[in-house]
Structure 1
Amino acid sequence: MLYFSSKEHSALDSYVAVRMRNKERGATLIELLVGLTIGLLTISVGLGAIMMSRGVTTTVSDTTTLQQQASYAFRVIGQQLRQAGGRPLNAAADPRDAATFVQPTAISLSGLPPIAGLDAPTASQFAISLRSVNTSESIYPTPPSSTPITGYLTRDCLGSNSGIASAPIILNQFRKNGTDLECSNSIGDVQPIISNLVDIQIRYLQQRLNIADSQPQFRYASAANLSSTDWPEVYGIEVCLELEGEQLIDTVGASYTKCNGTTAIRGNKLRMVFKNVFHIRNHAWPKAIS
C-alpha cells in the first residue's frame, strides 16, 4: 500500500487539476479556422462532382432526345419519299408474269410532279411536296373467311388514308414552322412531327443519260437548279436536319458544321446535325441528253 505525504498530495492534486482544465478547454481560433477550411474544401469538391455529373446527365439526355427525334423524322419522311410517284399495279393472271403499272387516268399523276420543293420557303410554304396515286387493296381477314375486303394499306405522313373518293392523290408536304417540323396530308390536316428543329435543308440527286458515252450522269441540285422538266429525273433526296437541345450547357466556344456547310458557334445549347439520303423506288430511267 502506497502512502503520499501532504506535499505529494498537493502536487498530485495540482496535476489532476491541470489535466482537467486542459480537457475542458475549447478549440482555439486557429483550430476552428483549419476545421472550417477543410470542411469548405470537402463541400466544394462534392458540389463540383455534382455539377459535373448533372452536366453530363443533361448532355446525354439531350443527345438521346435529339437522336430519337431525328430517327422518327427520317422514318416518316423516308417512307413518303420512297413512295413518291407511285402508281398501282395491274393484277397479273400468273405470278410469273411481269407486273405493269396502271395507265394514266383521271386520278393519275398526269400533269402533277411527283416531287417539288423550295429552297427558301416562307412560313406558309412547304419545303418539299410528294405525290403518289392512292389505291385500295384486297385485304383477307383471318380464316376461315376467304372473302376479301377492300382497304387502304398506304398511309400518309399522319398515318391516315381517307380513301380514293376524297384523296385520289396522296399528298405529303413538309415544312418548318417555328421549331416544329410539320406535315400536311391530302385533306389539309397539319400536325407537327418533331420539335427542336433549327433548320431543314434538302438536296436533290439528279440522274441523266449522256448520249456520248451512254453512261448516266449524276449531280446534287437545289430546287432552284431544277426546271419543271427536271423533277422526273430526281432519283434520290438528301435530307439534313439541324436540331437544338433544351438544356443550357457550357460548350466553351465549340463550333459545328450546319446543314448548309457553314461553321457556327454552338452557343450554350447542344446542336446536332443529321443527314440521310433516300432513294425513290418509282424512279424511271432518265431521258437522254446530248
Structure 2
Amino acid sequence: MKTLQIPPRQSGVTLIELMVGLAIGLLVVAVAMGALMVSRGISGTVSDASGIQQQGAYILRVVSQQLRQTGSLYLNPDPVGGNSTDVLSPVAFEIKADAVGSGNSFIQEESLSGAGTSVTTAFRRYQDNVFLADNATSTTIGTDFLARNCVGAPGNSSTDQRVESIFTFDSTTNELQCGGNGTAAQPIAQNVAQFQVTYMVQTTDAAGNTTVQYVKGSDMPAAATDPTWRRVQGVQVCLVLYGSEPIDMPAGSSYTDCAGTSVNMTTLTGERKNRMHLLFRNTYQLRSQGLL
C-alpha cells in the first residue's frame, strides 16, 4: 500500500509579532538618534569653546607683542658718529626721532595713549644687521627694519621712525580692529562682546610714598602729552568673546564681564543670543618702566 505523504506545515510570524518587532526596531533607532544628537551637541560646544580659547590667546599675544615694546628705546652705540668698535665706548638712549617720511616721529612721552575703548602703542624703530644669502656660495650683510606693528606695517621702504599700533573696538560689528603707520584699521578678531583697557598709574606724594592705582581708559586724559601717561607702569587688557554655536541654556545662565557685572546670557539678543561667552584678562608691564 502507498503511504499518504502529509505536506509539512508552513510557519511564519503573526501580525502582532511583526508589529512588536517594528516597535522595538523604531525604539532602538530613536534611542540611537537621540544619543547622536546629544553627542553632536556636546561636540559642537567643545569645538566652540576651543575656538574661543584659540582666538582669545591669539588676541592677547598680538596685544602683548606691542604693549611690552611700548616706549622701548634705541641704544645707539655710536652717538658721536665716530664708528667706534670699542665695546666700552659711551652709548646713548635715543628718546626722540625726527619726523621724516609720513611725519610719524617717536617721542618718548607719547609712546602710550588712548582713552575709552582704544589704545595706541609706540616704540622706537631702527635698523638691524641681517644676513642675506643670495646663493649657496655667497653671503652678504645688510640692514633691515625688523620691527612691525600689529598688521605688519610699516614696510622696509618706509622712513617712519616710530612703530605704532592702534587697537580699537568697533561695537557695531563686534570686531577688534588694529591699524597704524598710515595703514587703515583691519579686523584682527570677531565675535568680540567687550573690550576694556585699564592702566596702572604710579603716583608719588610729597613724602615720597609711591602707590599704584588702576584707572579705566575712560577716565584717562585724552591728550597724549598729559603727565598722567608718563606715570603708567602697566596695562591691563580685558575682553569678552562669544561663540558661533547656539546652545541650550538653562534659565539664569550668566557670566561676569570686564566691569564685574553679571550678565544674563538668556536675555541677550541678536547674534549673541544663546551663545557661549568667555572672559580673557591679562596685565602687561611696560618695558619703559622708570624711563618715561
> Normalized against structure 1, the TM-score is what?
0.79
Q: CA contact under 8 A between 1:236 and 1:277: conserved in structure 2?
A: yes
Structure 2 counterpart of 1:124: none
Q: Per the alignment, in what secondary structure is the counterpart of residue 274 of structure 1?
A: strand
Structure 2 counterpart of 1:216: 210
CA offsets, 1:69-102, max 9 Å, x none?
1111111111111111223112165545675311
Distance 1:73 1:210 in 2: 37
Q: CA contact under 8 A between 2:198 and 2:215: conserved in structure 1?
A: yes
Letter in 2 for 1:55: G
Structure 2 counterpart of 1:67: 53
Q: CA contact under 8 A between 2:130 and 2:142: conserved in structure 1?
A: yes
Q: CA contact under 8 A between 1:134 and 1:164: conserved in structure 2?
A: no
Distance 1:32 1:134 in 2: 83
Q: Per the alignment, in what secondary structure is the counterpart of residue 101 of structure 1?
A: strand
Give the alignment partner of residue 282 of structure 2, picking from 253, 276, 286: 276
CA offsets, 1:166-210, max 9 Å, x none?
423222101123132211121133222122212111111111234
Q: CA contact under 8 A between 2:71 and 2:108: conserved in structure 1?
A: no
Give the alignment partner of residue 130 of structure 1, picking from 96, 121, 137: 121
Distance 1:79 1:98 in 2: 30
Structure 2 counterpart of 1:76: 62
**Stretches of structure 2 lacking an aligned partner (at least 5 in a row):** 79-84, 100-104, 267-273
Note if 1:196 corresponds to 2:191. yes
**Stretches of structure 1 lacking an aligned partner (at least 5 in a row):** 121-126
Structure 2 counterpart of 1:53: 39
Q: How many residues align?
A: 265
Note if 1:248 corresponds to 2:242. no
Q: CA contact under 8 A between 2:199 and 2:216: conserved in structure 1?
A: yes
Task: Give the stretch that moved more between structures: 99-108 or 222-231.
Answer: 99-108
Distance 2:90 2:36 in 1: 66
Note if 1:171 corresponds to 2:171. no
Note if 1:266 corresponds to 2:265. yes
Task: Give the stretch that moved more between structures: 276-285 or 107-116.
Answer: 107-116
Q: CA contact under 8 A between 1:238 and 1:277: conserved in structure 2?
A: yes
CA offsets, 1:238-264, max 9 Å, x none?
111211111111122321111221111
Quote the offset at 1:236 in angstroms: 0.9
Structure 2 counterpart of 1:101: 93
> Normalized against structure 2, the TM-score is what?
0.78
Identity of matched residues, %:
29
Q: Give the RMSD, CA atoms, in angstroms.
A: 3.0
